[in-house]
């Protein structure tokens, strides 16, 4: 079973063999006792291709296990969670924006700085979280010193990319793994508990991040086929509508800042896909409903409520998350 979610700070822990071995030991033991079964997620229509293998555990068994080890109901201590989040930010989110380049224009620097800041905010991190990590790497000659977002240059520059990835894993992920395998987790004090049928502010913040990440991946997917400025799009009426929106921005800003795809609404993403179906049909087994229904569901249950500052329901959040994961799986390059 692959651990999949739009953003989950724990996924880097699941890439470690020690975690997989411990996980398999538990699940195999449950299977032998008859408390877990292996099953395939679903069968594809592409020649009855079988998809991912999962362990299915009943809710009653899960509750019993958690009653035996109640400390596992809580997340890791905040300091360990933050280490994983910083690692995700530096290795997965911004590495392409801080690479050392021989020639880089002021415009590119500004674009990269903006993307860096967007992703920093998206994960709820501050520059104070990043600076000490980068400055330690700078002492080893792996990066420049941390200059920060207010510098006219990039916040920092990577000089040795392989060393960068290696040292960050050693600094940020290894301490968490040592904590999991060598130290007894202390029970974390419960605070700010939210009734199970209500949505907390923290969860709303995470939803904004997850939805934003999904929409960026959706735009990238459409852009790969039609171009960021939709040059290969056959729907001229839609292109004119988006160009009008961008022109309004240009009149205010004095220049064009974003590609045309960034001006599309969620409903218009659906139109872009369906009106250029030949470019996209292979991803959805030539079934338009497989492309449109997930996007409509996500739009109604999650994007519209969040965009209009309405709180989505717990059930709506669950369904929208399932649809986002399913859709991203379908649009992987084939």
Q: Are 21 and 36 in contact (CB under 8 A)?
A: no
SS (H, E, C) 232-253: CCCCHHHHHHHHHHHHHHHHHH
Check residue 40 and give its pLDDT. 67
Q: Are 41 and 325 in contact (CB under 8 A)?
A: no
For 76, 289, 307, the CA distances from 298, given in Å and listed in that order, are 30, 14, 12
Task: Report helix, strand or coil for 321.
Answer: helix
CB atoms within 10 A of CB 84: 19
pTM for the model stands at 0.49
Minimal CA–CA distance to 157: which of 115, 110, 96?
Answer: 96
pLDDT tens-place string over residues 141-191: 999 999 999 988 999 999 998 899 989 999 999 998 888 776 544 444 445
Terminal CA-CA length for the chain: 21
pLDDT tens-place string over residues 247-284: 998 888 888 878 999 999 999 999 999 999 999 999 99
- Which helix (DSSP H) or strand (DSSP E) does residue 181 occupy? helix 174-182
Regions of the chain where pLDDT drops below 50: 1-5, 184-190
**Any idea of the CA torsion for 251, 256, 262, 264, to the nearest 10 degrees?**
40
Percent of the chain at pLDDT exceeding 90: 45
Check residue 247 and give its pLDDT. 93
Minimal CA–CA distance to 155: which of 106, 113, 105?
Answer: 113
Rounded Cα–Cα distance for residues 256 and 275 (Å): 26
């Amino acid at each position: 079973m692959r651990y999949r979610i739009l953003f989950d700070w724990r996924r880097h822990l699941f890439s470690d063999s020690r975690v997989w071995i411990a996980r398999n030991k538990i699940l195999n033991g449950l299977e032998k006792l008859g408390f877990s079964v292996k099953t395939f997620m679903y069968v594809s229509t592409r020649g009855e291709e079988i998809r991912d293998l999962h362990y299915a555990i009943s809710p009653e068994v899960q509750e019993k296990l958690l009653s035996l080890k109640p400390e596992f109901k809580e997340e890791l201590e905040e300091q360990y969670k933050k280490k994983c989040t910083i690692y995700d930010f530096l290795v997965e989110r911004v590495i392409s924006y801080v690479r050392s380049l021989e020639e880089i224009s002021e415009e590119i620097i500004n674009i990269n700085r903006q993307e860096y800041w967007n992703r920093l905010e998206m994960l709820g991190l501050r520059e104070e979280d990043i600076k000490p990590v980068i400055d330690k790497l700078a002492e080893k000659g792996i990066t420049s010193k941390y200059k920060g977002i207010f510098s006219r240059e990039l916040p920092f520059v990577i000089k040795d990319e392989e060393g960068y990835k290696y040292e960050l894993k050693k600094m940020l992920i290894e301490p968490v793994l040592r904590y999991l395998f060598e130290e007894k987790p202390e029970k974390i004090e419960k605070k700010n508990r939210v009734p199970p049928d209500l949505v907390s502010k923290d969860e709303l913040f995470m939803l904004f991040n997850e939805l934003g990440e999904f929409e960026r991946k959706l735009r990238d997917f459409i852009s790969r086929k039609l171009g960021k400025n939709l040059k290969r799009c056959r729907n001229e009426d839609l292109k004119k509508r988006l160009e009008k929106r961008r022109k309004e921005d240009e009149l205010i800003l004095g220049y064009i800042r974003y590609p045309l795809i960034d001006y599309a609404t969620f409903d218009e993403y659906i139109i872009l896909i369906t009106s250029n179906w030949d470019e996209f049909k292979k991803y959805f087994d030539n079934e338009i409903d497989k492309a449109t229904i997930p996007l409509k569901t996500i739009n109604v249950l999650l994007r519209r409520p969040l965009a209009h500052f309405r709180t989505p329901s717990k059930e709506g959040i669950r369904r929208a998350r399932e649809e986002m994961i399913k859709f991203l799986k379908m649009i992987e390059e084939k």
